[in-house]
Amino acid sequence: MKTDIVQGKWMQVRGAIKQAWGKATDDRVLMLSGERDTLMGRIQVRAARAGLNEPEWVQMRSGLARSPMHRK
């Protein structure tokens, strides 16, 4: 459980770095990727604090990846 929190926090930091670098280089795709990483990190931390076990977290995460916004 603590590893999920640490991984989520790291994903948030990585996302913030991507956002800052994307803003500095005027790269919209990198900024959006950073926003996604930050959001996924926040969700992972909240899932860990809520006590969701690994299979529930994976299902929740895969559901986000297949949202209607990402379908073609």
Q: Give me the tens of pLDDT residue by residue for the chain, a chain 72 residues long.
A: 688 889 999 999 999 999 999 999 999 999 999 999 999 999 889 888 888 766 666 666 666 655 554 444
**6/29 Cα distance (integer angstroms):** 26
pLDDT of amino acid 61: 64
How many CB atoms neighbour CB 72 within 10 A?
Answer: 2
**Contact (Cβ atoms closer than 8 angstroms) between residue 30 and residue 22:** yes
Q: Vertex 29, ends 26 and 31: CA angle to 5°?
A: 65
pLDDT of amino acid 72: 43
| Tokens (6 digits) for 45 | 């931390």
